[in-house]
């Protein structure tokens, strides 16, 4: 029987090194208690943050010291809880860390309102003259003053900060339900083996060449979701309503405006993405029709969408082989970048394989004071290899940023982060197509590239459209029920995948997408891959100078606004051109694949 192993059955070399944060849980407990006692020290500055330049600097430096330690404590707890969501001890640690983070946010919540209420640009300039160390905070001050119309009184800001633990409840409930409580059925594959469906292997199973098996996996998986339809519908409804109410509390007309204003991304960028992708759905319809031809079917069904155009699952890519390919692929970014990737892969940044109870998907995490950590559910396939390259892009971005920037600018917006991850994917595509002599692998890599554009640029834009529609329903006072979600999602699925049959099960796909709980997050995957294509094309044409511009952009961290950072790398996301360029490359590769496979 093919089953998911327990965590204890996985070798240590394939687990991330959380002992590099704290040697054990006892050391974490001591760190937790220490920083918990220091959180309220911040409140000593309440009401006098801006009485003089020296006091302002002291308050900001104390806030940094406390928040850095809180972040470290929280990171350890989050990573431990991800290892096995069934482990109640680590779920408790995570809950305590979330409470501490909320308490710290509340304790520091008066700082920015006091700056906004008492200082303007000339005051800031005078403070910098008095205390030159404040010059390091210039972009921070600019951003704080920019947000003045949407910042409430210190009392209200403290209340909103305290409520953060509660407002995050829908996402927490969904995560526990989908990762810890739900158990998916076991099905027999065409080889006669029992295979347990999981969140981690679901899409891989949908790539199996046996169509009847794919249908069984599809139907059994979504049938399990049907049993929790009302619970998931309620959690998503309350997540959306939370977004709307918090936006209104901060004087925004819509949740979308609030979400995009935080990183200072114009809402026109969102509209530009949706409109440009809708104008180019023909490429996606072409891809769907090629899939129909490739499997020799009269109609393309939803359980066929993940099927390779080549007609099989593709070659296995063991983890060790994936590491070698990725290290070679990032060579155009320079020797230093390449060496950092290799070192991270050898020094247990990555938690590699799926185990029972492990959180689904993949992510990159860590703090200013830790190494990066990458959670994977590696499946020995091309998709997993590309996901690993993706997450390494995030991790290297963090490493370069924190080395070049002080703590307050070491973080960066997701709008930029998804560029860094997708540049790695795009470089990997070019490397494998141009350097690997295995024809079968190259064909599958081309297919993987097409799939990643389909799932990242088109699918995430479809998600972004859905997200906007459900928020608009809430903002207009409408009812968000499971039926509403089914209808809106099903209509979008039918529009985007016009040549395919939209069955009742796929209308419930919204239930399995955790990113709908991250307010207006998913569009950044689409803008990210568009910017990445432009950056890689420039690097391939111009070489080291373009690569240097790109690395400069990564090193900027959060020291500038996202649109400015991408301009440093040579990309203007206010224009439809990067999106059109990415879609045109997708279209060219579709025809290249059609020729290779002799499809119409």
Does position 305 have pLDDT exceeding 50, yes or no? yes
Q: Which of 505, 504, 522 is nearest to 513 (CA)?
A: 522
**Structure confidence at residue 439 (pLDDT):** 85
The pLDDT tens digits of the residues spanning 451-492 come to 989 999 999 999 999 999 999 999 999 999 999 999 999 999
Does position 312 have pLDDT exceeding 80, yes or no? no
Dist CA 571 CA 114 (whole Å): 36
Active site residues: 391
| Residue range 128-137: mean pLDDT, rounded | 97
Q: Over the chain, what is the mean pLDDT?
A: 95
The pLDDT tens digits of the residues spanning 356-380 come to 999 988 999 999 999 999 999 999 9
Angle between the N-to-C axes of helices 523-542 and 544-555, in degrees from 0 to 180, rounded to the nearest 10: 140
Rg over alpha carbons for the chain, rounded to the nearest Å, is: 24
Strand partners for 301: 501
The pLDDT tens digits of the residues spanning 413-450 come to 999 999 999 999 999 999 999 999 988 898 999 998 99
The pLDDT tens digits of the residues spanning 73-102 come to 999 999 999 999 999 999 999 999 999 999
Considering only the C-alpha atoms of the chain, give the largest distance between any 2 of them, rounded to a whole number of Å.
Answer: 77
> In CATH, what class is 211-315+406-600?
mainly alpha
Question: SS3 helix, strand, coil % of the chain, rounded to 5?
Answer: 70, 5, 25
The pLDDT tens digits of the residues spanning 157-173 come to 888 888 888 898 999 99
Q: Are 182 and 86 in contact (CB under 8 A)?
A: no
> CATH 1.20.140.70 region(s) of the chain?
7-167
Backbone angles phi, psi at 323, to 5 degrees: -60, -45
Domain at 7-167, CATH from 1.10.287.3510, 1.10.3720.10, 1.20.140.70, 3.40.710.10: 1.20.140.70
Backbone angles phi, psi at 373, to 5 degrees: -135, 135
Does position 1 have pLDDT exceeding 60, yes or no? no
Residue 453 to residues 447, 456, 461, 579, Cα–Cα distance (Å):
10, 5, 11, 11
| Residue range 190-216: mean pLDDT, rounded | 92
> CATH 1.10.1370.20 region(s) of the chain?
211-315+406-600
Does position 189 have pLDDT exceeding 80, yes or no? yes
Which DSSP string do the residues of 213-272 spell out, in sequence order?
Answer: HHHHHHHHHHHHHHTTHHHHHHHHHHHHHHHHHHHHHTT-SSHHHHHHHTTT--HHHHHH
Q: What percent of the chain has pLDDT over 70?
A: 100
Q: Which of 313, 437, 433 is nearest to 382 (CA)?
A: 313
pLDDT class of 2 with cuts at 50, 70, 90: low
- 112-145 burial by CB neighbour count: b if 16+ within 10 A, else e? bbbbbeebeeeebeebbeebeebebbeebbebbb
């Amino acid at each position: 029987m093919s089953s998911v192993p327990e965590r204890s059955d996985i070798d240590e070399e394939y687990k991330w090194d959380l002992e590099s944060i704290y040697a054990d849980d006892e050391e974490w407990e001591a760190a937790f208690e220490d920083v918990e006692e220091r959180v309220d020290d911040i409140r000593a500055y309440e009401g006098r943050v801006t009485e003089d330049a020296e006091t302002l600097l002291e308050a900001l430096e104390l806030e940094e010291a406390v928040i850095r330690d809180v972040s470290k404590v929280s990171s350890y707890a989050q990573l431990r809880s991800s290892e096995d969501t069934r482990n109640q001890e680590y779920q408790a640690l995570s809950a305590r860390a979330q409470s501490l983070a909320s308490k710290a946010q509340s304790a520091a919540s008066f700082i920015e309102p006091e700056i906004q209420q008492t200082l303007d640009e000339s005051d800031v300039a005078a403070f910098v003259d008095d205390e030159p160390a404040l010059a390091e905070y210039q972009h921070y001050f600019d951003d704080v003053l920019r947000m003045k119309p949407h910042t409430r009184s210190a009392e209200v800001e403290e209340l909103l900060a305290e409520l953060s633990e509660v407002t995050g409840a829908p996402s927490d409930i969904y995560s526990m339900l989908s990762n810890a409580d739900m158990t998916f059925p076991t099905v027999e594959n065409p080889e006669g083996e029992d295979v347990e469906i999981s969140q981690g292997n679901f899409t891989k199973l949908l790539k199996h060449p046996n169509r009847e098996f794919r249908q069984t996996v599809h139907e059994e998986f979504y049938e399990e979701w049907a049993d929790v339809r009302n619970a998931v519908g309620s959690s998503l409804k309350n997540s959306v309503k939370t977004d709307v109410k918090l936006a209104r509390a901060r004087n925004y007309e819509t949740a979308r405006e609030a979400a995009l204003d935080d990183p200072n991304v114009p809402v026109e960028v969102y509209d530009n993405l949706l409109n440009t992708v809708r104008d180019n759905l023909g490429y996606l319809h072409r891809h769907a029709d090629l899939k129909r031809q490739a499997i020799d079917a009269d109609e393309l069904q939803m359980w066929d969408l993940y099927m390779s155009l080549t007609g099989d699952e593709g070659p296995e890519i063991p983890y060790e082989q994936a590491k070698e390919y990725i290290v070679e692929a990032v060579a155009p970014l320079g020797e230093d970048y390449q060496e950092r990737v290799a070192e991270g892969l050898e020094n247990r940044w990555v938690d590699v394989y799926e185990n029972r109870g492990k959180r689904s998907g993949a992510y990159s995490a860590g703090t200013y004071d830790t190494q990066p950590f990458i959670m994977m559910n590696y499946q020995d396939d091309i998709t997993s290899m590309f996901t690993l390259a993706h997450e390494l892009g995030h991790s290297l971005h963090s490493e370069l940023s924190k080395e070049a920037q002080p703590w307050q600018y070491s973080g960066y917006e997701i709008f930029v982060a998804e560029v860094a991850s997708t540049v790695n994917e795009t470089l990997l595509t070019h490397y494998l197509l141009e350097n690997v002599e295995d024809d079968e692998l190259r064909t599958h890599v081309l297919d993987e590239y097409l799939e990643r554009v389909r799932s990242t640029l088109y699918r995430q834009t479809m998600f972004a459209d859905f997200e906007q529609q459900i928020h608009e329903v809430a903002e207009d006072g409408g009812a968000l029920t499971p039926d509403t979600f089914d209808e809106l999602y099903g209509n979008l699925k039918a529009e985007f995948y016009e040549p395919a049959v939209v069955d009742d099960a796929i209308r419930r796909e919204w239930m399995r997408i955790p990113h709908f709980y991250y307010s207006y997050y998913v569009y950044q995957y689409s803008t990210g891959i568009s910017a990445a294509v432009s950056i890689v094309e420039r690097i391939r044409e111009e070489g080291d100078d373009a690569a240097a511009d790109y690395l400069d952009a990564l090193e900027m961290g959060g020291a500038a606004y996202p649109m400015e950072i991408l301009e440093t790398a040579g990309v203007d996301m206010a224009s439809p051109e990067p999106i059109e360029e990415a879609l045109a490359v997708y279209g060219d590769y579709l025809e290249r694949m059609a020729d290779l496979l002799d499809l119409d």
